[in-house]
Amino acid sequence: MKKPILDKWFYFPIFLMSINLIIRLVNQSKIIKMFPLDYTNDWASYIAQLFFLAKCGFHQTCPYWYNGFDTFVITSPGWYFFALPFYWITKNVQIGAYLSLLAMFILSYLLIYILCKKNGLSRVKSIMFFLLFFGNALAIGDFIRLGRVVSMFPFMILIPFFTILLYYRNHKFNKYFLVFIPIYALVLISHAPETIIFSFLIIGLFLVKKHLKERLYIIGSSLAAIIVSSFWLIPFLIASTDSIITTDTYALGEVLFNAWKFEPLTFIISIIIPLALFLLFYLNWQKNKSKDYFLFYLPLLFLNLIFLLRIYPFIPLLKNIHPDIFHHFLLFFVIFFFLKLDLEKFSTNWKKMLFILFNLGVILSVTISLIHTPWFTEHTESDKETLELFDYINGRYLIYGSNGSYTYAYYSYIPIYLDLPSASGWYPHMLSVEYKQLLKDSSDTLKEKDCEGFKNSLSALNVTDILAYNEFCDSLDICNLNKKADKNNICVYSYY
């Protein structure tokens, strides 16, 4: 009997995508010796918070950002718990973070291999699945280059999460289903956006199971997972009511509707992936047109539809989920349905066309990764000068302006290597609305050269030192603060 898709189809794509992934991982390994300070960078924030977990502890007051904050009340701790042992072993936070990335790639492949084996897919297809999901241009840009490891972690957990739900779609519940509880608990503490959309998959299993006892089992297991994760989940829900996480919006509806103007690739992907998912699901469903099969994937199809039609930004809970998270989530099922295709009913010409289109898609993905995704950026002269001027700061500080550098990255670097606290930080979701306004007032009054208002803001924020760039240095001079040092439009002032 012929296989649905011949393994030999994948030899060239596997080779091409493997080489590209290895090159990217080697390039990103520069992070081991050089702390990332460029704009294309979420790494710095996560590295800093990993340091805070080790230095300050979990749910403890940490002095480094925002005049002190409670660690991991708003921040999801999943990846940080995973990465912490690597930090402890290496005693270097950058090495620990990078090794955690490699570990997630290795574990993800092993988990995908199990998923594929349970569903009749060969080892070659499991490698292809892994590369299509974690080695495509979008994943390389998000997980490796930007360093969104806190998002990669739940997508690693998605694999066993889906494997369990898929298995019990056609099997009766037994004691092994209890594995679902810790797996779902990991999802719950991993990252809120992924938690929300992953949870829709549970609804599919609920719809398939007709007996009340089975549905109560699903509900009970889900509640047990919530209880297991409640050590973080309950404080998070309480604290979020006083955080800007519930008051700020990301205008993601605008991002989706207008992406063609400033992010054409995002706009194109947000159309291609949902359409591909509908098509591939239909082709798989045609095998037997099972009602249970349709019901199991109905919540997924619902998410796919509201994303395709740009409806989800108007739905509570879903409205602030970034499009890239939907892209990764929906792509996972596009790949799964593609590899499960049965092409026996297709003509030879259709098979050849699909083979050509698939290879062209892989080549396009690798090309986009090589050309569009930036490579690791080493420190600029402005970065080096800024770090030198921090030698003149010895108290709680704020940074105003920019000289081509990423201010937030300095707020992450300085606590780790200079042990200095700041009145600001990287992760604004930690803030109350009132504190955010204080920071805004300090910046606005300095821009307007309102010296009295600016000094009042500094006093309220307990700031003793200021690092500024360009025109902000002129404003500080006008306000008669004490200049401590300057270099090439970068200055340090003190306020006592």
Confidence band for 289, pLDDT divided at 50, 70 and 90: confident
Q: Please give the DSSP secondary-structure letter assigned to residue 175.
A: G
3-state secondary structure of 35: coil
Q: Tokens standing for 90?
A: 């290496």
Average pLDDT rounded to a whole number, residues 200-213: 95
Confidence band for 267, pLDDT divided at 50, 70 and 90: confident
* Best CA proximity match to 85, nearest among 50, 122, 133: 50
Please state, in angstroms and rounded to a whole number, the distance separating the CA atoms of residues 374 and 146. Answer: 9
3-state secondary structure of 129: helix
Burial 360-375 (b: 16+ CB within 10 A, else e): eebeebbebbeeebee
Task: Identify residue 178 by its one-letter amino acid code.
Answer: L
Please state, in angstroms and rounded to a whole number, the distance separating the CA atoms of residues 353 and 272. Answer: 18
pLDDT at 469 over 80: yes
3-state secondary structure of 118: helix
In terms of C-beta distances under 8 Å and separation of at least 24 residues, what long-range contacts does 110-116 make, across chains too?
111/156, 111/159, 111/160, 111/163, 112/159, 114/159, 114/160, 114/163, 115/159, 115/160, 115/162, 115/163, 115/166, 116/339
What pLDDT does residue 1 have?
A: 39
Location of structure tokens 């490891």? 149
Q: Tokens standing for 195?
A: 């938690």
Residue percentage of the chain with pLDDT more than 90: 74
pLDDT at 246 over 60: no
Is residue 159 a contact partner of residue 119, using CB atoms and an 8 Å limit? no
Confidence band for 256, pLDDT divided at 50, 70 and 90: low
What pLDDT does residue 23 have?
A: 97
Q: Tokens standing for 135?
A: 């080695």
Each residue's pLDDT tens digit, 105-126:
999 999 999 999 999 999 999 9
Least confident of 148-157, 219-228, 393-402: 393-402
pLDDT at 3 over 90: no
What pLDDT does residue 199 have?
A: 96
- Identify how many contiguous H helices and E strands the chain contains and give both numbers: 21, 6
* Best CA proximity match to 84, nearest among 35, 45, 50, 46: 50
Please state, in angstroms and rounded to a whole number, the distance separating the CA atoms of residues 222 and 242. Answer: 27
Please state, in angstroms and rounded to a whole number, the distance separating the CA atoms of residues 104 and 144. Answer: 11
* Best CA proximity match to 391, nearest among 459, 457, 490, 495: 490
Delimit the domains of the chain by residue range: 7-34+72-372, 381-494
Please state, in angstroms and rounded to a whole number, the distance separating the CA atoms of residues 307 and 318. Answer: 10
pLDDT at 248 over 50: no
- Provide DSSP, 374-441: PPPPPPPHHHHHHHHHGGG--S-EEEES-SSS-HHHHHHHHHHHT---BS--S-GGGS-HHHHHHHHH
Confidence band for 39, pLDDT divided at 50, 70 and 90: confident
Tell me which range, 149-158, 242-251, 439-448, is most confidently predicted by mean pLDDT. 149-158
Please state, in angstroms and rounded to a whole number, the distance separating the CA atoms of residues 282 and 289. Answer: 9
pLDDT at 195 over 80: yes
Residues 6 or more apart whose Cβ sits within 8 Å of residue 433: 242, 244, 247
3-state secondary structure of 265: helix
Residues 6 or more apart whose Cβ sits within 8 Å of residue 305: 274, 311
Confidence band for 262, pLDDT divided at 50, 70 and 90: low
Task: Identify residue 266 by its one-letter amino acid code.
Answer: T
Which secondary-structure segment (H or E) carries 447? helix 433-447
pTM, full prediction: 0.92
* Residue 491 β-bridge partners: 468, 486
